[in-house]
Chain A
């Protein structure tokens, strides 16, 4: 099974900062990674699919990149509404699919 190592576990940012979260897969996942945002008490919401494609409604300050085993997710110009937890999910080839452990973004 593919393991996803997500870092950092938590992140403290000021409004307007750029933040980056990384996910490293235990093997090549061929860009089949999605990123989800979860606010307290809410269901996850998809932001990015297939490494870098923004889902409809995702603000352009969110971005994703990567290939092979290494992927990143960034928020430029952090806004107060971005305070949430973020998860990567790999869905390459055969299941089981796996989430990263999550990153909690807080305001400094």
Chain B
């Protein structure tokens, strides 16, 4: 069974940094692209970015490219999202998701999400 479990969320002060983790199991992690999506309270889904199997290609949505860094550790089956210079606009649930191995598909499995609250 594919399982994605995010962690590392919580309350953080404006201007600080935070690193989220996503532990993957139930599939061969190093065979898949992975990605992050966020959802501000009461709002829609926002694509943050994706990373390929060997971390040689990482794509971001332009507005977050200078604040967020996606990385992975295939030995630990873990995906990361490093967030810096956080502001209130970054308050959201953050989801990690697996990118399907089919070119005709995209996010096929999602984690349950982790809440990040940016506030003083």
Contacts and interface: CB of A to CB of B under 8 A. Distances in A.
Contact of B104 (A46, A49, A87, A102): A49
B45 A91 contact: no
B47 interface: yes
A44 B110 CA distance: 7
B68 interface: no
Interface residues of B, number: 23
Contacts, number: 64
A50 B110 contact: no
Contacts of A99: 37, 44-47
Most chain B CB atoms below 10 A, which of A42, A44, A45: A44
B62 interface: yes
A43 B112 contact: yes
